[in-house]
Every structure is written in C-alpha cells, then in structure tokens.
Amino acid sequence: MGVFPPRQCAVPVYRGRVARASALAGVLLLAAWTPAGARQQRPPAQPPAPVSQPSPAAQQTPPAATFSSGVQLVEVYATVTDAKGGLVTGLDREAFQVFEDGRPQTIQAFAAGDFPLSVALAIDRSASMAGERLERARAAGRAFLDALRPGDQAAVVSISSRVELAAPLSTDRAAQHAAIAALTPWSTTALHDAIIEAVNLVQPGTGRRALVLLSDGVDRYSHASLTQALDAARRSDVLVYPIALGRRTTPLFPRLAALTGGRSFHLTKPAELQETLTSIARELREQYLIGYTPDRPPSDEPAWHAIDVRVNRPGLRVRARDGYFGK
C-alpha cells in the first residue's frame, strides 16, 4: 500500500475540460465519442503545503493549459432525473440548453449513454469505522466494483491519518477487491487531504472521471483546509459522490457534489450503503455529454466561466458541474 507523499505547492489554476473542435469532429465521423483523446491533458490537482512552510515553488501557480490557435470545445457531463430522483434516458440534443456566463450557447456535439469511466473509490478506515460500519463499507465497495464495466478503470484509496493508494488506477478487479479486503481500522480521518489526493489520482484517467467517497465523520488533522479541498475539486473535471455514514455529517459533502455535478448522500442505516453505491455506478453509465464552443472572445488571462445546463422538459432536473477556468 503506497502512501501519497506530502507536497508543498499551491493548488493550480485549471481550465475546464476543453478540446479542439476538429479533433472531436473526427471522432464523431467514426460514430463514437472518446473524450479522453479529445481533451487537452492538464496537470493534476495537488494539495497545498501548510502556510507556515511554503517552498519557493509554492509561490508560483502553473499556467493553465492553452491552445495557440483554433477553437475550444467545452465538454460537460449532465445527469437528468425525474421528480422522484429516477434517471431519465433517451433525451436528444434539442432537450438541452447550455449557458455560459449567462449567455446561451450552441450545442455542437452531443452523446448519450455509456462512456469509459475512471473512478477512485476512497474509503475511510479510521478507528471510528471499526466493526459493522467498515464491514458494510467493504461489502458496498465490492458491489460497486462489480457493477463497473470490464473496461472501466478504478482505484482504491484508504483514508486514515494518512492517505494511501491501496490499489492503483487500473481494470484489475482482483487487485481492487484484495485492497478493500485488507482495509483495517486505524487512527483519524485526513478527509481534506484525501479529497485532493483522490482528485489528483483520477484526473489523468480516460472518459468520465469520478470520486466516490465514504466517510463517517469530519476532517481530523489534514494539512489542507476545507477551502483548499473545495477549490481542488472545483478546478478539476471529476464528479464527486460523497457519502456520509452515521449520524454525523459535514457541510463539505453537499458542497462538493454541487460544485462538480455529482450527488451527496447521508446514510444513517449501514444497510443502505450497498444499494447507494450500485445506484451511483448505474448513474455514471446513464449520463449525457454535451459539447459547445464558447460564444465569446478569448481573454489573455484564465478566468472562471459559469456553466448552466438546463433541460426543457417539465418535471425534469439536470445536474452538471457549475463552470471551468479558461481563457
């Protein structure tokens, strides 16, 4: 089990997921969408050092990825549900509207259904999880892995006072199951550090990227602050699905889900955990991928651009990330 090394650097500024329109057009001619090949690769989010010990490198923020020429296509994953929370499938391009910074955008690319997935499953194994709670988390984690497609990549992250990579990002289900079985209760919960490290881990993955996070408490003894954890998640392209177990919860979880387009859960009954994780696996297979070229002139410096995805069908709701950094 590898321990994530401590880092001393600031959270970098990222752009939203973008791609050259020409690259995406070539993919559409082949009647298949491969988002990982169409997007510009960016450096992963990294946890900031304690303020009292900054290094010279920590004073510099890496520049956002840019294109020297050509147009940019912004990609947004969207989940649509009905009034009861059930997934809605079968919608076409005309059912959606996209706004950037309040301005309507023209949807230039659209795909629905199953996409490749890269997901980090982060499980709290702190001392407070000992007993039935951790055993339920192990069982739910196994069910979640079994609900993935054979080609989906997954990683297992262990959370205690340290953040450890129990199984690297791969399609090796046997190694992932073994990593979950080996989790034993120990120490406290470095929750903020775990969020940043898990986002960092899954960021280079292919297709949809997601973090499924299971914890029964609030942060204890992280190097990173709550604000830094939220900032790292918001600047990434990772859907976050945090699950709070037991009576305690944290306001961090619903904020993480809202910022990234995921969904948060607060479960008071351990028996609900397995069904919740399998429902997340189903949701990740039934999303819509929307692409548009921003209807605005490029700027010299990266800035935050708000995204608002709407569905023009009565009684339906849509979840998507709330924006991206870009020029």
Q: What confidence score (pLDDT) does residue 109 get?
A: 94
Give the Cα separation of 196 and 192 in Å (integer).
7
The residue assigned the tokens 């990173």 is 224
The residue assigned the tokens 């602050």 is 225
Q: What confidence score (pLDDT) does residue 323 get?
A: 94
| Torsion (CA) 264, 13, 295, 210 in degrees, nearest 10 | -30
25 Cα distance to chain centroid: 26
Give the Cα separation of 31 and 97 in Å (integer).
23
Listing DSSP states for 2-57 in one string gives EEPPP---PPPP-PPSEEEHHHHHHHHHTT---HHHHBPP-PPP-PPPPTTS--GG
Q: What confidence score (pLDDT) does residue 22 get?
A: 34
Q: What confidence score (pLDDT) does residue 201 get?
A: 96
pLDDT below 50 — which residues of the chain? 7-70
Give the Cα separation of 319 and 67 in Å (integer).
29
The residues spanned by each domain of the chain are 3-112+287-326, 115-285
Q: What confidence score (pLDDT) does residue 250 get?
A: 87
Give the Cα separation of 155 and 69 in Å (integer).
36
Q: What confidence score (pLDDT) does residue 15 get?
A: 37
The answer to whether the CB of 14 falls within 8 A of the CB of 42 is yes
The answer to whether the CB of 159 falls within 8 A of the CB of 190 is yes
Give the Cα separation of 263 and 213 in Å (integer).
11
Q: Which pTM does this prediction carry?
A: 0.80
- At the second CATH level, the architecture of 115-285 is 3-Layer(aba) Sandwich (3.40)
| Torsion (CA) 226, 252, 142, 209 in degrees, nearest 10 | -80
Q: What confidence score (pLDDT) does residue 269 get?
A: 86
Give the Cα separation of 66 and 107 in Å (integer).
22
